[in-house]
A and B are shown apart, each in its own frame.
Chain A
Amino acid sequence: ILNVEQSPQSLHVQEGDSTNFTCSFPSSNFYALHWYRWETAKSPEALFVMTLNGDEKKKGRISATLNTKEGYSYLYIKGSQPEDSATYLCAFSDNAGNMLTFGGGTRLMVKP
């Protein structure tokens, strides 16, 4: 059983704050690391898929980095807005097939 851990479990920030959270995964047999945003009452939405050590991805104010050798990925949100409030999930795969192990998520709440 693969262990994918996310920290912190939850986070409260003020509008305008920048924040980051961590996804830890096994450092052997790496194939891909996914990030998803899951807003309440909606479907999870893909943010990034990263497959190479050192990958950095950016989408607007959100960016992610990947270190496969040490088994972690960071997600950064610059200048948080209330609409960023959601649960952020990472998912790891150690095989080429479409089979992901998800972490427990980081619940972000941004106060106006």
Chain B
Amino acid sequence: KAGVTQTPRYLIKTRGQQVTLSCSPISGHRSVSWYQQTPGQGLQFLFEYFSETQRNKGNFPGRFSGRQFSNSRSEMNVSTLELGDSALYLCASTIVGSIGEKLFFGSGTQLSVL
């Protein structure tokens, strides 16, 4: 069974640009959540999607958005990039997104904003 796949693995962008990251969950998993990891900060929750609907949202500005497609694949978009957006972005999937389920993480996308 294939794991959670994130693309691309690395991205370099400049301030003001926008970026789209992709996450394909494990087959059969319908919930996808996104996290940001920056140096000195723990993993911070961005948002969670289930059946194409955003169910939960973390404390991030509106420049961070996402969506989920009918095949459960999810994309995350960051507009008007800032230097502070440089981070490792992880997505994780679960079957139905209940809190009792273990998260299965992808390898992440390392975003560098210059």
- A and B assemble together: yes
Contacts of A32 in B (CB 8 A): 99-100
Interface residues of chain A: helix, strand, loop or mixed (majority): loop
Once the chains bind, are B98 and A46 in contact (CB under 8 Å)? Answer: no
Contacts of A93 in B (CB 8 A): 99
Bound form: Cα–Cα A50–B43 in Å: 19
Determine the interface band of chain A, counting residues with CB < 8 A from chain B. Answer: 20 to 34
Contacts of A31 in B (CB 8 A): 99
Most buried by A among B41, B55, B99, B103: B99
Contacts of B45 in A (CB 8 A): 99-102
B106 in contact (CB, < 8 A): yes
B16 in contact (CB, < 8 A): no
Q: Which residue of B lies closest to A33 (CB)?
A: B99
Least CB distance from A96 to B in Å reads 6
Q: Count B-side interface residues using an 8 Å CB cutoff.
A: 31
Contacts of A46 in B (CB 8 A): 102-104
Once the chains bind, are A43 and B100 in contact (CB under 8 Å)? Answer: no
Q: Which residue of A lies closest to B97 (CB)?
A: A98
Once the chains bind, are A95 and B99 in contact (CB under 8 Å)? Answer: yes
Number of A-B residue pairs with CB-CB distance less than 8 Å in the complex they form:
74
Interface flags, B38-69, vs A, CB<8A=1, else 0: 00011111001010000110110000000000
Q: A98-B94, A98-B103 are in contact. List 12 more A-B contacts (CB 8 A).
A: A1-B59, A42-B107, A43-B3, A43-B106, A44-B103, A46-B102, A49-B100, A98-B50, A98-B55, A99-B48, A99-B56, A101-B45
A107 in contact (CB, < 8 A): no
B33 in contact (CB, < 8 A): yes
Least CB distance from B89 to A in Å reads 12
Contacts of B101 in A (CB 8 A): 49, 98
Contacts of B44 in A (CB 8 A): 102
Bound form: Cα–Cα A89–B106 in Å: 16
Once the chains bind, are B103 and A105 in contact (CB under 8 Å)? Answer: no
Least CB distance from A93 to B in Å reads 5
Least CB distance from A47 to B in Å reads 8
Least CB distance from A58 to B in Å reads 15
